[in-house]
Each structure stands twice: as structure tokens, then as C-alpha cells.
């Protein structure tokens, strides 16, 4: 990936991709939430916050005005912290551990 987010996508495909830009992909509304190299990462309105799906920058994508990326829910942040911890514990065990309390 390039140093500037979405620079490759904007240059290679000639689209106004940017973090937080509203889009419709194949008729489904959403917001760009991540630079995924050759793809844009879209959080669709019908999905939970933090659920990001890849979309090709030119395949049935309509670029709209700027919006905001919805933040992950508390439980999603906790699970993300569990994955980042790379623990040998199961998720239930980890939740009861002091590591989970520190991550909250």
C-alpha cells in the first residue's frame, strides 16, 4: 500500500475514494471504511459497524458525498482486542482474565 491512504486507488482507477465517503455498491448504500490495496473497504448500512467488505473501486460503485464511519460496538472492540492478544485462552476464558479488563 502507498503512504497516503487511497492514493493508489485514486490514481489507478480515477475515482474519488476517501475514508468516510458515502458510496452505493451494486445498489447497496454504505461508507468507505478502509483502504484495502486494490479494493475499497465498505461498511454497508445494513451491516454492523466495523463489518468491512471489499469492493472493486469501479464495479457498480457510485461515489457520493462525505459521511462518517460508524465506530465498532463495545463487544466488537472487545473481540478485536482478544484477537490482537493472540492468547491461547478461549474467548470466554479471556473475558474473565485481567487482560480483558485492561483492554476495556
Tens digit of pLDDT for each residue in 87-102? 788 888 888 888 776 6
pLDDT score of 1: 47
Provide mean pLDDT across the span 5-34.
Answer: 93
| More confident call, 55 vs 88 | 55
In sequence order, the 6+-apart residues with CB closer than 8 A to the CB of 79 are 91
- Whether the Cβ atoms of residue 70 and residue 31 lie closer than 8 Å to each other: yes
Beta-strand ranges (E) seen in the chain are 21-25, 28-36, 39-44, 53-55, 61-66
Q: Taking the domains of the chain in order of start, what are their residue ranges?
A: 7-66, 74-103
CATH class of 7-66: mainly beta
- Whether the Cβ atoms of residue 44 and residue 28 lie closer than 8 Å to each other: yes
pTM attached to this predicted model: 0.74
The Cα–Cα gap between 39 and 54 comes to 6
Amino acid at each position: 500500500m502507498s503512504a497516503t491512504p487511497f492514493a493508489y486507488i485514486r490514481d489507478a482507477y480515477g475515482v474519488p475514494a476517501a475514508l468516510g465517503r458515502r458510496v452505493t455498491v451494486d445498489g447497496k448504500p454504505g461508507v468507505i471504511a478502509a483502504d484495502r490495496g486494490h479494493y475499497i473497504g465498505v461498511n454497508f448500512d445494513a451491516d454492523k459497524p466495523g463489518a468491512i467488505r471489499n469492493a472493486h473501486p469501479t464495479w457498480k460503485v457510485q461515489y457520493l458525498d462525505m459521511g462518517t464511519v460508524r465506530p465498532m460496538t463495545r463487544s466488537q472492540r472487545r473481540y478485536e482486542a482478544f484477537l490482537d492478544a493472540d492468547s491461547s485462552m478461549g474467548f470466554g476464558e479471556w473475558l474473565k482474565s485481567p487482560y480483558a479488563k485492561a483492554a476495556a
